[in-house]
Amino acid sequence: MNRYLYDGTPEGLLSAAARIFSEERDPETVSLDERKDTLFEEGVFIGTDPASAETFFNRLRLEAPDAAYTLYYFTLAEKDGMETALLHYLAQALLHGDRVNGNLTHPAIRDIVAVSRKAQRELHRMKGLVRFEKLRDGAYLARMEPDHNILQPLAGHFSRRLRAEDWFIYDVRRRIAARWHQGKLQFGSIEQFVAPALSDEEKEVQALWQTFFRTIAIPDRKNPRLQKSNMPMKYWKYLTEKQGE
Amino acid sequence: METLDKLQILSGAARYDASCASSGSRREGPSCGTGNTSQGGICHSWSDDGRCISLLKILLSNDCIYDCAYCVNRATNPVPRASFSAREVVELTMEFYRRNYIEGLFLSSAVMQSPDHTMERMVSVVELLRTEERFGGYIHLKIIPGSSSALVQKAGLYADRISVNIELPSQESLNRLAPQKHKQAILEPMSLIGRQIQESLLERKSSRNAPRFAPAGQSTQMIVGASPESDLQILRLSEGLYRKMHLKRVYYSAFVPVNEDNRLPVLASPPLLREHRLYQADWLLRFYGFSAAEILSDDAPNLDETFDPKTSWALRHPEFFPVEINRADYGTLLRVPGIGVTSARRIVAARRFSVITPEGLKKIGVVMKRAKYFITCSGRPFEKTDRQPALLKSRLLLAGGSAPEPPRQLALPGLFA
The pLDDT tens digits for A9-42 are: 889 999 999 999 999 889 999 999 998 877 777 8
The shortest CB-CB distance from B29 to any of A160, A215, A225 is to A160
How far away is chain A from the Cα of B4, in angstroms, using its nearest Cα? 6
The shortest CB-CB distance from A208 to any of B3, B31, B49 is to B3
Q: A222 and A192 share a domain? A: yes
How far away is chain B from the Cα of A225, in angstroms, using its nearest Cα? 7
- Regarding an ipTM greater than 0.90, the answer is yes
Given A93, A122, A151, which residue is the final one in a domain? A122
Q: B27 and B174 share a domain? A: yes
For residues B329-350, average pLDDT: 95
Q: A54 and A136 share a domain? A: no
Residue of A109, A168, A216 to mutate for B, most B C-beta atoms under 10 A: A216
Q: Decide if B407 is inside a domain.
A: no
pLDDT tens digits, residue range B340-369? 999 999 999 999 999 999 888 988 889 998
User: Is A131 part of the contact surface with chain B (CB cutoff 8 Å)?
Assistant: yes
| Residue B19 pLDDT level (bands cut at 50, 70, 90) | confident
Q: B162 and B33 share a domain? A: yes
Q: Decide if B282 is inside a domain.
A: no
How far away is chain B from the Cα of A33, in angstroms, using its nearest Cα? 26
Q: Decide if B299 is inside a domain.
A: no
User: Is A117 part of the contact surface with chain B (CB cutoff 8 Å)?
Assistant: no
Cβ proximity of B249 and B222 under 8 Å:
no
| Residue B410 pLDDT level (bands cut at 50, 70, 90) | very low
Give pTM, 2 decimals. 0.91
* Packing angle of the helix pair A151-161, A107-129 (nearest 10 deg): 40
Q: A105 and A183 share a domain? A: no
Q: B215 and B334 share a domain? A: no
Residue of B1, B34, B275, B353 to mutate for A, most A C-beta atoms under 10 A: B353
Q: A199 and A97 share a domain? A: no
Number of separate domains in chain B: 2
Q: A111 and A140 share a domain? A: no
Q: A37 and A14 share a domain? A: yes
Q: A14 and A116 share a domain? A: yes
Q: Decide if B147 is inside a domain.
A: yes
pLDDT tens digits, residue range B288-322? 999 999 999 999 999 999 999 999 999 999 999 99
pLDDT of residue B269: 86
Separation between Cα atoms, residue B108 and residue B105, nearest integer Å: 10
pLDDT of residue B401: 53
For residues B104-109, average pLDDT: 97
For residues B256-284, average pLDDT: 91
pLDDT of residue B389: 66
Q: B11 and B123 share a domain? A: yes
pLDDT < 50 stretches in chain A: none
Q: A15 and A113 share a domain? A: yes
Residue of B1, B34, B100, B356 to mutate for A, most A C-beta atoms under 10 A: B100
| Residue B417 pLDDT level (bands cut at 50, 70, 90) | very low
pLDDT of residue A174: 95
Could you tell me the end-to-end alpha-carbon distance of chain A, in angstroms, rounded to an integer?
A: 54
What percentage of chain B has pLDDT greater than the value 70? 94
Q: A221 and A199 share a domain? A: yes
Q: Decide if B151 is inside a domain.
A: yes
pLDDT of residue A244: 74
How many A-B residue pairs are in contact by the CB < 8 A criterion?
164
Report CA-CA distances (Å) from B46 to A24, B53, B89. 51, 5, 22
Give the structural domain span for A134: 130-242
Given A122, A149, A179, which residue is the final one in a domain? A122
pLDDT of residue A89: 96
Cβ proximity of B375 and B325 under 8 Å:
yes
pLDDT of residue B5: 96
* Nearest-by-CA chain B residue for A207: B4
| Residue B404 pLDDT level (bands cut at 50, 70, 90) | very low
Q: Chain B residues with CB inside 8 Å of A106's CB?
A: 353
Number of separate domains in chain A: 2
Q: B189 and B328 share a domain? A: no
Q: A111 and A210 share a domain? A: no
Given B219, B249, B283, which residue is the final one in a domain? B219
Q: B178 and B48 share a domain? A: yes
Question: Does the pLDDT of residue B148 top 50, yes or no?
Answer: yes
Per-residue DSSP letter, A135: B
Give the structural domain span for B369: 309-398
Separation between Cα atoms, residue A121 and residue A123, nearest integer Å: 5
Q: Chain B residues with CB inside 8 Å of A214's CB?
A: 48
Q: A109 and A168 share a domain? A: no
Q: A110 and A144 share a domain? A: no
User: Is A44 part of the contact surface with chain B (CB cutoff 8 Å)?
Assistant: no
Cβ proximity of B298 and B232 under 8 Å:
yes
pLDDT of residue B414: 38
pLDDT of residue B412: 41
Residue of B25, B45, B90 to mutate for A, most A C-beta atoms under 10 A: B45
Q: B212 and B333 share a domain? A: no
Q: Decide if B333 is inside a domain.
A: yes
Given B198, B219, B240, which residue is the final one in a domain? B219
The shortest CB-CB distance from B4 to any of A130, A165, A207 is to A207
How far away is chain A from the Cα of B316, in angstroms, using its nearest Cα? 32
pLDDT of residue B166: 93
Q: What is the mean pLDDT of chain B?
A: 90
User: Is A130 part of the contact surface with chain B (CB cutoff 8 Å)?
Assistant: yes
Question: Does the pLDDT of residue B82 top 70, yes or no?
Answer: yes
Q: Decide if B135 is inside a domain.
A: yes
Separation between Cα atoms, residue B414 and residue B396, nearest integer Å: 40
Q: Decide if B293 is inside a domain.
A: no
| Residue B408 pLDDT level (bands cut at 50, 70, 90) | very low
Contacts by B169-174 with C-beta closer than 8 Å and gap 24+?
B169/B222, B169/B227, B169/B229, B169/B233, B169/B234, B169/B237, B170/B227, B170/B229, B170/B233, B173/B226, B173/B227, B173/B228, B173/B229
The strand pairing partners of B249, in sequence order, are B219
Q: Cβ contacts of residue A30 below 8 Å, gap of 6+?
A: A1, A2, A3, A4, A20, A24, A84, A87
What percentage of chain B has pLDDT greater than the value 90? 75
Residue contact B256–A218, C-beta within 8 A: yes
Q: B314 and B201 share a domain? A: no
Given A122, A152, A175, which residue is the final one in a domain? A122
